[in-house]
Amino acid sequence: MTFGRLERTQAAQPMSDINVTPLVDVMLVLVVIFIITAPLLASTIPLDLPKTDAARTSETPRFVTLVVDRSGQSFLNDRPVPPDELARALAQTARQHPDTEVQLRADQAVPYGKVVEVMGMAQKAGLNRIGFVADPGPAAAASPAPGR
């Protein structure tokens, strides 16, 4: 008459491997956060850009950023530049890469004449591709894209 096994079975051994799944999850979340916040850190000059529904970022391979702040100071690629040096720098860029786009960011308080003056410098230098950068208006942010 047997009442059961008299031999003892081994208990489960403790797992000595590291579970990397939570680590991978955390790293992927951090990568997504950096991908989303990196474009927001692109410009360090505080501006109050005008709002428009047609504001879109262009995906050109070669561009320079030309900024005119509230006081009328010009910045080329986030560095302050006097007007005579700005014309030389734009001409040098045009000689090196004639297809370069100028992304013009001007504060909405800047007089129209100053914006036209800076545009004229870029065109005189040979840079005819000028894009105006603006923040999307509240109507553009709330409404879905056409065709969706």
Q: What's the burial of 140, exposed, middle or buried (CB within 10 Å: 0-12/13-18/19+)?
A: middle
Distance of CA 81 to the CA centre of its chain: 22
pLDDT digits (tens, 9 = 90+) for 7-57: 677 777 777 788 889 999 999 999 999 988 887 776 667 778 788 777 565
Distance of CA 120 to the CA centre of its chain: 26
Whole-number average pLDDT of the chain: 81
Do 87 and 58 meet the contact criterion of CB atoms below 8 Å apart?
A: no
Helices (H), 97-134: 112-125
pLDDT digits (tens, 9 = 90+) for 80-89: 998 889 889 9
Domain boundaries, the chain: 45-139
H/E stretch holding 65 = strand 63-68
> Which of these, 50, 106, 101, lies nearest to 75 by C-alpha position?
106
Do 69 and 115 meet the contact criterion of CB atoms below 8 Å apart?
A: no
At position 10, the amino acid (one-letter code) is: Q
> Where does 45-139 sit in CATH, by number?
3.30.420.270
The rounded distance, in Å, linking the Cα atoms of 76 and 103 is 10
74-76 and 79-81 beta bridge pairing? antiparallel
pLDDT at 145 over 90: no
Is the pTM higher than 0.75? The answer reads no
